[in-house]
Amino acid sequence: MWKLREGLQKPSEFTMAQIDVTMISSILLFIIPYVFPKLWLPFKQYRLGHSDEEWKDRIIYQILTDRFATSEETSEPCTLLKQYCGGTYRGIINHLDYIENLGMNAIWISPIVQNKEGSYHGYHATNFYTLNPHFGSEEDLVELITECHKRDIWVMVDLVFNHVADMDEDFSHIIPFNKEEYYHPICESKDDWGNQTFCEDCRLSNLPDLKQEDSWVTNELINWATWIIEKYKLDGIRVDTVKHVPMFFWKELRQRMPNVYMLGEVFDDRIAYIRGYQEHMSGQLHYPLYFVVKDVFKKQNGRTCHDIETVINNCKEAGLDETTLGGFLDNHDNARFLHGFDDIIAYKNALALTLLHVHIPLVYYGAEQGFNGGDDPLNRESLWNTKFNQNTELYKFIRILTDVRKTIAIKEEHIQRYKTDDVYIYSRGTVLVCTTRIGGGNSLDTLFVAYNPYKKGDKLKNVFTNETQVVTDAGVKVTFSDGQPQVWVKV
């Protein structure tokens, strides 16, 4: 039995020195992960993704791969936003310091598979098993993920299960879904999105709609997703067009991937509707809160700060778990918050409320530079022309918020402490978040927050100004000067 491999030693042939080395190595392998966790990161054995619970301490930076950074440094902005602009994985690697210094510990990048020519965004797949060469080589992608993991930055890739590229009904060009039978037939009606069957079976933007009722299609999609996560050691996935795919598919996907965090896109503000999808995909974009916060701080559609409390309470009553949702103010599907609205201070208030709330926060690239693009593709600007400036007002502001965010225990609930039409104040643990929608250049009379998480005599600091105060019988003193938000922490 000792001749299984030539040269293999019998137990009696091991020397004491070899045994000592083995024991020391075992001890080091036990100690290093705890004493030097970052040193250990590149050597950790990979398992399929990270769970919903593990993602709760992440702050996600959304990157449109084609628009973040080019391989070769340039400061010329991209002006043809409906075409490829030149962003690459190598460009992201070169600017990981920019992302890390902003306080981000996860990135969400564009779909990585081969697309129809001109589809810079990645949502028009032609070959599910080949990479998009515009973004770089496979080696570049692997290096990006490896370098991110060395910094404890997790990587989320966008996956599309609903549709493929429009190739004029010639499905032979779509790999592996190369037969007409793999797709729903073209619908006669063109606009009945309130009908769930229409939503699931009909074409979105004329893109061929995959027929998940076909067991081969479902199995192939799930096998592909598992393969891509394992092959590239992804930490989680963002899932496109969730409500356009039947619920049974998401149930099966979850059963096959029970411990992979999935951030789904259900583009809808109906809380109960989103709650239905959370049954099988707990991560969803927090559109119900997004629409309210945008309206409140931009003073539109008659909403006030009372509506913030209402939507949060409605989420609780509906059983929607906000802690696994992705909270955002900007993304690639909506005009940026600052579009047609130049009040940076109002934006800062909305950012403070959103980034410190109980959901998993997302920051869309360019938010830290004050980008204000309109609807697609104007909200997909190139970032490299900013020269990756880390000294802008919003970059520094977001960095402060991410620092605070990392001090808040995941278990700490959002507790509303004070509200009027124009003021919304809440706490999480011993962090007090004070926001107002009065806007820059405006002020309010001093108010006192009597219902607060502190005790008399506690010393507090405003993280933005380093101003301090001591909690009195009257509570926490809050003076909104020039409409600026305040975040108070114990010192």
List the structure tokens of 160: 């599309």
CA atoms of 439 and 134, how far apart (whole Å): 42
For residue 403, the cross-strand partners are none
Cβ-Cβ contacts under 8 Å for 239 (sequence gap 6 or more): 158, 159, 161, 262, 263, 264, 265, 281
List the structure tokens of 15: 């020397």
Q: Is residue 239 within 8 Å of 264, Cβ to Cβ?
A: yes
**Degrees (nearest 5) of the Cα angle 464, 313, 487?**
5
- Candidate list 52, 140, 240, 252, residue with the active-site label: 240
Cβ-Cβ contacts under 8 Å for 81 (sequence gap 6 or more): 377, 378, 380, 381
C-alpha distances out from residue 289 to 103, 194, 253, 329, Å: 23, 21, 27, 9
Extended strands (E) in 289-354: 326-327
CA atoms of 337 and 373, how far apart (whole Å): 9
66 tagged catalytic: no
- Candidate list 265, 307, 343, 381, residue with the active-site label: 265
Residue that is written with structure tokens 């602009």 in the block:
85
240 tagged catalytic: yes
**Degrees (nearest 5) of the Cα angle 351, 355, 358?**
140
Q: Is residue 319 within 8 Å of 282, Cβ to Cβ?
A: no
CA atoms of 329 and 320, how far apart (whole Å): 19
CA atoms of 317 and 12, how far apart (whole Å): 68
Single-letter code of the amino acid located at 247: M
CA–centroid distance for 148 within its chain: 15
Query: 60 φ, ψ to 5°?
Result: -100, 130
Which residue in 213, 271, 257, 218 sits closest to 48, CA to CA? 257
Q: Give exposure, 283-298, as e/b (b: 16+ Cβ within 10 Å).
A: bbbbbbbbbbbbbbbb
Q: Kindly list the catalytic residues.
A: 240, 265
